[in-house]
Amino acid sequence: MKGTQAFIKSQCPSAVYVHCCSHSLDLVLSKSLDIPEIRAAVTGVQSACLFCKHSAKRVDGLMQAVERMCPESRHSRLKQYCATRWVERHDSIFVFFELYEPLLNVLNSHGELSLVHQITDPQFIVPVVNGHA
């Protein structure tokens, strides 16, 4: 036996192992990816982030669209969806929602109609809006 849990169990066999709150929440969020609508939302956010991340021209286009369409925004770049940290997952959805209109503008101007369709689909929008609320 290895680890803290095993050591405690060897010293006190009646001890019950319970995940900490953060780990429990992370397990629930990871399990939520089994729901098709949640998986579609995560995939859409990741796809949009990757689209902008791999091109300086696209990053600049998004920054200009943000300045033009929502100058009060605190963000000018999308935040990558983190697979392991639930707080960063949450933040990426908030930033995505904040930059949604400028992002659509950039995607349309680059002719990325399949990605536009993906992130305007109701099965994408409902989980993202509910995650933002």
Question: Which of 69, 115, 75, 114 lies closest to 95, judged by CA?
Answer: 75
Query: What tokens does 132 get?
Result: 């933002």
Q: Where are the domains of the chain?
A: 1-32, 35-132
CB 52 within 8 A of CB 62: yes
Which residue is associated with the tokens 């369409």?
A: 69
- Residue 43, Cβ density class (10 Å: 0-12 exposed, 13-18 middle, ≥19 buried): middle
The pLDDT tens digits along the chain (133 residues) read 578 888 888 888 898 888 788 777 777 777 877 888 888 888 888 899 999 888 899 999 999 999 999 999 989 898 886 666 666 667 888 888 899 999 999 999 999 999 999 999 888 888 777 665 5
